[in-house]
Structure 1
Amino acid sequence: MSSSPPNPSLLHSDVRSLYSDHHGWLVNWLRRRLRDTDNAADMAQDTFLYVLGKPEQVARLREPRAWLSSIAKGLLIDRFRRQQVEQAYLNAIAHLPEQDMPAPEERLILLETLTRIDALLDGLKPNVRTAFLLSRLEGLGYQAIAERLGVSLSSVEKYMATAIRHCFLARNAL
């Protein structure tokens, strides 16, 4: 016996109800954490934009506020990490001569690329992440990485295998 796909109008009705029942609560919850009404409202909207992509989950919710706060926390973490990446990038280019400064379009592309790389490497242990970045960004060989990190060559080989596997799995999850 096959089940029929959910009725789209019912799903949208569920999302609409979730929004009307919990939007105000979510904005207040975010305002307490951010101490900023405008950013809280923006993050609440981002949370519900995410929810729009998951309407089938709304119908099964038992704890809507727990789900919404979990989504919002993830979005806050993403936002914080993006701000950190952006600040590090701006610090890195701040000392460039004006003629070497990337154009605004290039800056956006580079920042987006750096943010995606950061997200892709999220969850790796510091030595694994550092070994991967030294290999890929600085072009160091495994022996040079081992010397820089003060670990054995076999450790670097394990780090790289872990990082490559992690990136492969993370990329396939996208």
Structure 2
Amino acid sequence: MPHRADPRVQQELMHSLYSDHHSWLFTWMRKRLENQCDAADLTQDTFVRIHTRQESHKIDSPRAYLLTVAKGIISHFYRRRSIEQAYLEQLALLPKQAMPSQEHQLIILQTLEQIDALLDNLPKKVKTAFLLSQIEGKKYQEIAAEMGISLISVKRYMKQAYLQCLMFMEEDFFAEI
């Protein structure tokens, strides 16, 4: 098995993977997406993701691996589109003078996507408790009653959610340095 650190071998394997399977993956994507441009972009994103992971030397079943990566990319694509659509719908409700600049709109959308990714990494009960507290403003006792769990569980879930938020903020902070 080739060593991961050899960039020449990695590049040859990636080129082979791309040339052997690009057309097939693009056709598969086109059948699942609304337009050809999105299919082309997401097909390319699939190969870029594999390339950045530098794992092409570990792929035993190329098409199965490509499908696994592509399905994740498609899921992210639709999720991002859903968030963007909801945000645009809310923007449309604002009076013109309250409309944020294009730059601020982009920053807000990126932040919403990051929050969504953060929440998606939480277990379902933790996410539910966190949203009930932070979005709906419910007290821990109310959350416990609504979810049918103990107050201690709510506190444990909230601690877990806050720790996840702190880790995310720390990663974001150090990425900027």
Tell me the TM-score range normalised by the shorter chain: 0.7 to 0.9
2:42 aligned with 1:19, yes or no?
Answer: no
The C-alpha deviation readout for 1:105-139, integer Å capped at 9, x for no partner, is: 10100000010110111143555323313434566
SS at match of 1:91: helix
Look up the equivalent residue of 1:99 and give its one-letter code: Q
Match of residue 97 from structure 1: 95
Matches within 5 A, 1:17-166: 17-55=16-54, 57-137=55-135, 140-143=138-141, 145-146=143-144, 152-166=150-164
For the structure 1 residues 97 and 152, does the alpha-carbon distance in structure 2 shift closer, same or farther, using more than 3 Å as the test? Answer: farther
**Aligned equivalents of 1:5, 1:67: Cα separation in 2:** 18
The C-alpha deviation readout for 1:7-48, integer Å capped at 9, x for no partner, is: 211110110111000000100111121253222111111111
Look up the equivalent residue of 2:89 and give its one-letter code: N
- Provide the TM-score with structure 2 as the length reference: 0.80
For the structure 1 residues 58 and 129, does the alpha-carbon distance in structure 2 shift closer, same or farther, using more than 3 Å as the test? Answer: same
Contact preservation (8 Å) 1:120, 1:171: no
Look up the equivalent residue of 2:159 and give its one-letter code: A
- Provide the TM-score with structure 1 as the length reference: 0.81
**Aligned equivalents of 2:62, 2:135: Cα separation in 1:** 43
Identical aligned residues as a percent: 45
